[in-house]
Structure 1
Amino acid sequence: MLLLAPLAWADVVSEDPQQRQMLEIAEKLRCAVCQNQSVAESNAELAQDMRRIIVEQLAAGRSEAEVIDYFRARYGDFVLMRPPRQGSGAPLWWAPWAILAAAGGGAFIYLRRRLRAQERS
């Protein structure tokens, strides 16, 4: 069902340029309820409200950057599908690398100790 949601928008998008622009912006925003789905993909009530707000703001003449900034002001950098690499978004970019480095270092130490123990035996 969730995989078909973007396809349902495809008919509407092909007809109306404003709807196409709304969908492009909605793909850049994360649904605050679904966490790992974009506003374009989500069927949650909040995502539907966010899409409606995007359309209203575009109709009012706001640019894509202004619409995105509106949602950043309300929800913070978390609402962006690609959070910034500095400020509050930095841990989201660097934490996986830090975890990978720690795991690799731990595995290296473990294997080195294990080899030394085998050499003593």
Structure 2
Amino acid sequence: MKARISHDAQGRRIAHDVCTEPCPIERGMRIIGGKWTGSILWHLRDGPVRFNDLARMIGGASKKMITERLRQLEAQGLITRHVLDTAPVSVQYQITATGLTAIGFLDEIRKWSEGLREAGQP
């Protein structure tokens, strides 16, 4: 249902069909709306990436923040974590089929953002 606003007999505004739980947009934003989350998924779209390489790709994000986001994404089934049998041990991350479904709209956000910038907006 679509939420709507009407007026009662005294002219007060009344909301009808309001969301009693997070709507699909809110649920989606809770998954990918965290800072750096979209960037992480974007950088994993072409194949597995080792942690330190991913940290280099995402300038401005601390390793602690990247680690937190990677754990969240893994718990949500959007990425997988593989411990490599190397010395020293290293870890690489790969986007899952479910995670790949986000790439289409992340690309649209990228295009939208670039269009805003070209129009002189920050």
TM-score after normalising by structure 2: 0.27
Q: Which has the higher contact order (CA 8 A, sep 6+)?
A: 2
Larger Rg: 1
TM-score after normalising by structure 1: 0.27
